[in-house]
Amino acid sequence: MPSVKLLVRTVLSLAMSAVFVWLSLRHTDVRAVGRAMAQADAARITAYVVLLLVIHLVRTVRWGLLLRPLGQVPFKRLNSASAVGWMLLMLLPLRLGEFARPLLIARPPPGGGQPLRRSGALASVVVERIVDGIAIGVLGIISLRMLGRSAAGNYVEFARSASVLVALGFLTLCAALVLAVFFHDPAVALADRLLRPFSPRVAARATGMLDAFIGAVHLGSGWRLISFFALTALYWTLTATGLGIVAPAFGFTALTPLMLAVILTIQVVGVMVPAGPGMVGTMQFFTQAGLSLFDPGGFSARGAAFANTIWLLQFIVQVGLGTIFLVAGHVSLKGLLGPSPVEDEPPPAPVAP
């Protein structure tokens, strides 16, 4: 039965991707899109690829700060798990790859080493995603307010509403997590009272998972906390800068940093929609939707070429890095979903973005 459910969800995710691909390309000549991509400035494309490698290092180091309380993790092991985890996020549908990084880092490396607590690794990714969600929501709200009437088009209200909803949603999650950490025992007891009437067995298992998960959350302190937020700001600044590097290769030369921030916000909110592997369709459509707020060519062949180039280069770099580490034997996928050497805990639901 679980396999049937997974099959149904996968088919639905592929259908979702197909719908967004159609929405992205419905008013364009696909051959013109291909020509625009082929004729793009090679120097800008190369610069963007280099920037994507830098972004990978930034988010890997940032994740390492969250894992520090669990134990000393060598950078080679951290980098390998990060690269392969992001590769699986691109290859698996429904954002199932969100589970990969914590599951990989929790296992001892092929050459031997100390495993980490799986609950702690999962908690690090949840904290990371909550902070990113708040950052993107606040970035969208501030950028749109500062731009005022400079933003126009069919998706302005969507952008404003989405920014507010994302910020409020992730702030709520953040508040709930902080309260659960400070009121650990009452939170576990409340979950048990809510679930026990349905199934004592499920309640016992769920509360055990929740107890381990809450206990593993480390919000950090001092220089580590400051460094984490500084790297978060750097991560999203570099990501927006990447859009600005590639955009002129397709004729979009008038995009300001605030405009790029809005385009990035809409893109990130869009890829939260569960879709097929690689976030195909959702990334292209929502990138173009953001672009259309500032340029009428957002849904032209040039706009589609820009969005597809961004998607394709991210896909190639992330899958390429993960493949390199797999081939080099730095990490293995064998038995990834098996019991952890430290603890056997099913993962919680993935958190976007």
| Residues 66-72: contacts with CB under 8 Å, at least 24 apart | 66/124, 66/127, 66/128, 66/218, 66/220, 66/228, 67/105, 67/116, 67/120, 67/121, 67/124, 68/224, 69/120, 69/218, 69/220, 70/116, 70/117, 70/120, 70/121, 70/124, 70/216, 70/218, 71/114, 71/116
Considering the domain boundaries, does residue 218 fall inside one?
Answer: yes
pLDDT score, position 110: 62
Considering the domain boundaries, does residue 82 fall inside one?
Answer: no
Considering the domain boundaries, does residue 121 fall inside one?
Answer: no
How far is 91 from 111, CA to CA, in rounded Å? 26
Distance of CA 270 to the CA centre of its chain: 11
DSSP letter (8 states) at residue 108 = P
How far is 345 from 206, CA to CA, in rounded Å? 10
Considering the domain boundaries, does residue 253 fall inside one?
Answer: yes
From the list 41, 219, 212, the residue with the least C-alpha distance to 130 is 219
Q: For residue 288, what are the contacts with CB-CB under 8 A and spacing of at least 6?
A: 24, 298, 299, 303, 304, 306, 307
pLDDT score, position 178: 85
How far is 265 from 260, CA to CA, in rounded Å? 9
Give the dihedral of Cα atoms 71, 77, 81, 84; nearest 10 deg: 180
pLDDT score, position 349: 42
pLDDT score, position 2: 57
pLDDT score, position 1: 54
Distance of CA 201 to the CA centre of its chain: 33
Q: For residue 211, give its domain range.
A: 2-73+130-268+280-315
Considering the domain boundaries, does residue 171 fall inside one?
Answer: yes
How far is 147 from 61, CA to CA, in rounded Å? 33
- φ/ψ of 14, rounded to 5, equals -65, -40
Instruction: Tally the C-alpha atoms within 13 A of residue 100's C-alpha that lie toward its C-beta.
Output: 24
> Tokens 């996968």 belong to which residue?
10
**Residue 206: what residue type?**
A
Considering the domain boundaries, does residue 308 fall inside one?
Answer: yes
From the list 45, 63, 96, the residue with the least C-alpha distance to 235 is 63
Instruction: Extract the residue ranges of the chain whose pLDDT is less than 70.
Output: 1-2, 109-114, 218-221, 335-353
- Report the chain's terminal Cα–Cα distance, integer Å: 28
Token code pair at residue 168: 């409020």
Considering the domain boundaries, does residue 214 fall inside one?
Answer: yes
Count structural domains, the chain: 1
Instruction: Answer yes or no: are the C-beta atoms of 145 and 261 closer than 8 Å.
Output: no
What confidence tens digit (pLDDT) does each residue in 85-117 have?
999 999 887 777 788 899 888 887 666 666 778
Coil, helix or strand for 251?
A: coil
> pTM surpassing 0.85?
yes
From the list 308, 292, 283, the residue with the least C-alpha distance to 259 is 292
Considering the domain boundaries, does residue 85 fall inside one?
Answer: no
Instruction: Answer yes or no: are the C-beta atoms of 285 and 254 closer than 8 Å.
Output: no
Instruction: Answer yes or no: are the C-beta atoms of 331 and 80 closer than 8 Å.
Output: yes
